[in-house]
Amino acid sequence: DAGITQSPRHKVTETGTPVTLRCHQTENHRYMYWYRQDPGHGLRLIHYSYGVKDTDKGEVSDGYSVSRSKTEDFLLTLESATSSQTSVYFCAISVTILYEQYFGPGTRLTVT
Amino acid sequence: TQLLEQSPQFLSIQEGENLTVYCNSSSVFSSLQWYRQEPGEGPVLLVTVVTGGEVKKLKRLTFQFGDARKDSSLHITAAQTGDTGLYLCAGYTGTASKLTFGTGTRLQVTL
């Protein structure tokens, strides 16, 4: 199994509070991704990174920001959480942009 | 935004039956991947197909990429309870550097 961990695994937070999710990899892969998974929508890309300090937006980036200061860590921040951001968040890594992606175990976030 | 439509959305069958899951798009994909996801876990890659008309087999699973590279299918022969899960197709297009996921097919296999 690819060495990908996500923390926390579960979180309940209140509307309006900031939340940061962490993805950590031990594979030294260049690309890292944040997805959210919701019923009826499949997996949707939030942001991705193609190197340290190099990031780009995905299809559902509004309300989210990311940072990657080290190869192994990719942080997803919800500046002011809303109920619509209740979801399961997955981090993924890949060697190159066209190769298979390895997914972390997910973080279940509930915004009340 | 390229859309990948999967059908059926839900499938409940008994062990030993055969089934086919479809993944369709109006876009041409340079490659297409199939993943399986079990409850509480992240998706795990099953196969990648690249060439139009390509067929790949993984034990009882057969994957086919359409000739025009706009669609794909997954056929499971003699399903087992261990095949239960969410099956996701995902594709790269030549113009997008991001993987687009289908909506998923949830398969339940019972004894």
Give pLDDT, residue B46: 95
How many percent of chain A have pLDDT more than 90? 88
Give pLDDT, residue B99: 86
Q: Is the peptide bond between B39 and the residue preceding it cis, with omega within 30 degrees of 0? A: no
pLDDT band, very low/low/confident/very high, at A42 (cuts 50, 70, 90):
confident
Q: Do A98 and B98 touch (CB under 8 A)?
A: no
Rounded to an integer, the average pLDDT of A85-111 is 92
Interface test with B, best of A61, A96, A98 (most B CBs within 10 A): A98
Rounded to an integer, the average pLDDT of A25-44 is 92
Q: Do B33 and A40 touch (CB under 8 A)?
A: no
Residue bearing tokens 């060439």: B51
Q: Do B98 and A102 touch (CB under 8 A)?
A: no
> What is the number of CB-based contacts under 8 A between chain A and chain B?
45
Rounded to an integer, the average pLDDT of A61-83 is 97
Please name the residues in contact with B84: beta carbons below 8 A apart, sequence gap of 6 or more. Answer: B38, B107, B108, B109
Q: Are B87 and B69 in contact (CB under 8 A)?
A: no
Residue bearing tokens 């991704």: A33
DSSP A84-99: GG-EEEEEEEESSTTS
Q: CA-to-CA distance for A72 and A3, rounded, in angstroms?
A: 10
Q: Do A101 and B99 touch (CB under 8 A)?
A: yes
Which chain B residue has the Cα nearest residue A46? Answer: B98
B4: chain A residues, CB-CB within 8 Å: 42
Give pLDDT, residue B3: 77
User: How far A87 CA lies from chain B's nearest CA (Å)?
Assistant: 13
Give pLDDT, residue A13: 97
DSSP A3-19: -EEEE-SEEEE-TT--E
Rounded to an integer, the average pLDDT of A85-96 is 94
pLDDT in tens, chain B (111 residues): 557 899 999 999 999 999 999 999 988 988 899 999 998 899 999 999 999 999 999 999 999 999 999 999 999 999 999 999 999 999 987 666 678 899 899 999 999
Which chain B residue has the Cα nearest residue A6? Answer: B42
Q: CA-to-CA distance for A18 and B14, rounded, in angstroms?
A: 46
Rounded to an integer, the average pLDDT of A62-71 is 97
